[in-house]
Structure 1
Amino acid sequence: MTTIVFIPGAWITPALYQPFLEALAKTGYNVHYADYPSLDPMNPSTADCKTDTEVLTKILHTLVEEEGQDVLLMMHSYAGMPGAGAACGLAKSERTQQNKPGGIVGLIFIAAFLVPEGLSCAGLQGGNLPPWILLDKPSPQLNYPDDPVGNFAPEVESSLVQDLESKLKPHSTLAFTSPQPAPAWAEAAFQGRLAFIVTSRDLAVPKEAQYGMMAATQQQWIVKEMECSHCAPFLDRVEETVQLVGECAKAFNVV
């Protein structure tokens, strides 16, 4: 049975994703939620993208190399950076050729960042983070999103977002200003196994930016599109999101 490893976006705690993860599990997948240290960090001065990548790498190596599991990796927003770094060298196609069990069968990015090796999230945006990211809030080296509902889920019914802020925590600014490790989407072993779910009404990561990042990779992508905001796929579009994940898995020949 395939395991879906889900990596969250910046600021977002498991509580927001729970309905989606539960719905995903009901379709028959094992679901593994993978956290990283730059989200609500103990020490923001060391919580960079490389450290996040190293933590996620250990998780993936345990599932793939020690347990021999087939993994479908799903990344939301910032998770596209450390998640892609952690997946390097673990492609199922490559491991099969080496007579090794398990491997990552595909990468699914949803409204996620695709950043070339050596460039930071801020660097990808001209060196500055967008103004809705409130720097040094609530304390130095941390940040928090301004108007979370307005930026992440403006069209979602108010009853579903009234407690949105309770599901968010501060994030390390260093995670956004430190360089991207080598990303797995650049590896030949993942050709034909890259999918991107575009959120076309996204104010946080605009549709144009999502397509622009895909184009800049010079890779072939399986593209699905949802007419919604950044977090809506996990709030009021859960069924549709699960369906699209299934379609991506099918395109990867995953059952």
Structure 2
Amino acid sequence: MASKSDIVFLPGAWHSANCLDKVVPLLTAKGYTTYAHTVKSVGTPHVTVQDDAAYIRDEILEPLFQKDRQVVLVVHSYAGTPAAPAIKQLHVKDRKAKGQPGGLVGIIWVTSYLFSSAGFGVVEREAKLEGLARFGSINAEEDFIYPREDLDFFYGDVDEDLAKATLSTLKPHSLSALLTDVDEYGYRDASYDGCRAYVKCLRDRPISIELQNFMINSSGVIWETRELDTGHSPFLSQPEQLSSTIDELIQGFKI
């Protein structure tokens, strides 16, 4: 790519944008204007995955597009679920064809879900709840799922003090967001060919490397892939390596 794009980085369930404070300055130092945003379903009940998708598209990306900015979207974990429908027809090629300014020039999923309902697919509510129970404590009346509190699950390779500090900032996540389904996958748009990437995390516990590989192979499209020898949160454990990997992928995008 000839010039530096903007980067929009979205962490997943329970996590606020400040968990990216170690990696954002590194991307900025590489010449990118970088924005970190929290998805709407963090800390707010009764927010569906469709609500998150609309928020990503209309309130995060569209204002940048209206400034004629070219953007790379980077998503982690749950954020990939609402991002999938949100990015449909948002590539610069698609927007230019419709006479619209700006657009996405690339997408990067970082150990992130490619399918519905945090990776569980379109299944019955009870099966979803059973699957979600491994991630935390469910309170259906509040419409919240509270995150697991053991450090090793999310932060097994993160400095202990940093892991504890990050864990203390986590918020309950809308249960509705993890129980609703999506049926549009914008990353399948042909316009993303050559600028669609997936960063695998080999020691991830919440999203195993086997599940990451399965989702990539079942997605119906080709992803440029990279591997990091990290757990679920490389933005904390290996921010330098993650930022360099993101930079390398962006520089290799073909638009």
Question: Quick check: TM above 0.5?
Answer: yes
Q: Does 1:14 align with 2:11?
A: no
Q: Deviations over 1:64-122 (max 9, x none)?
A: 1x11100000000000011222111111233344554321001100010001xxx4336
Identity of aligned residues (%): 26
Hey, what does 1:236 align to over in structure 2? 237
Which residue, out of 24, 27, 37, partners 1:24? 27
Q: Distance in 2 between matches of 1:101 and 1:125?
A: 35
Q: Does 1:121 align with 2:109?
A: no
Q: Secondary structure at the match of 2:41?
A: coil
Hey, what does 1:35 align to over in structure 2? 38
The farther-off stretch of 185-194 and 218-227 is 185-194
Which amino acid counterpart does residue 83 of structure 1 have in structure 2? A
Q: Distance in 2 between matches of 1:178 and 1:223?
A: 28
Hey, what does 1:182 align to over in structure 2? 184
Q: Secondary structure at the match of 1:132?
A: helix
Which amino acid counterpart does residue 118 of structure 2 have in structure 1? C
Q: Secondary structure at the match of 2:23?
A: helix
Q: Distance in 2 between matches of 1:99 and 1:140?
A: 44
Displacement of 1:224: 0.3
Q: Distance in 2 between matches of 1:73 and 1:30?
A: 12
The farther-off stretch of 131-140 and 147-156 is 131-140
Hey, what does 1:69 align to over in structure 2? 69
Q: Distance in 2 between matches of 1:132 and 1:150?
A: 13
CA distance 1:77–1:230, shift in 2 (3 Å): same
Q: Distance in 2 between matches of 1:76 and 1:98?
A: 29
CA distance 1:26–1:133, shift in 2 (3 Å): same
Hey, what does 2:79 align to over in structure 1? 79
Q: Secondary structure at the match of 1:213?
A: helix
Q: Distance in 1 between matches of 2:210 and 2:122?
A: 13
Q: Secondary structure at the match of 1:219?
A: coil
Gaps of at least 5 residues in structure 2 are: none
Which amino acid counterpart does residue 248 of structure 1 have in structure 2? L
Displacement of 1:157: 2.6
1:1-255 to structure 2, matched below 5 A, reads 1-41=4-44, 44-45=45-46, 47-58=47-58, 59-64=60-65, 66-98=66-98, 100-115=100-115, 119-121=116-118, 123-124=120-121, 127-128=127-128, 129-137=131-139, 140-231=142-233, 233-253=234-254
Q: Distance in 2 between matches of 1:155 and 1:121?
A: 23
Gaps of at least 5 residues in structure 1 are: none
Q: Distance in 1 between matches of 2:169 and 2:140?
A: 16
Q: Secondary structure at the match of 1:28?
A: coil
CA contact (8 A) 1:148 1:164 kept: no
CA distance 1:160–1:123, shift in 2 (3 Å): closer
Displacement of 1:229: 0.4
CA contact (8 A) 2:81 2:117 kept: no
CA distance 1:171–1:219, shift in 2 (3 Å): same
Q: Secondary structure at the match of 2:114?
A: coil
Which amino acid counterpart does residue 51 of structure 1 have in structure 2? D
Which amino acid counterpart does residue 117 of structure 2 have in structure 1? S
Question: How many residues of Structure 1 are paired with residues of Structure 2 in the alignment?
Answer: 246
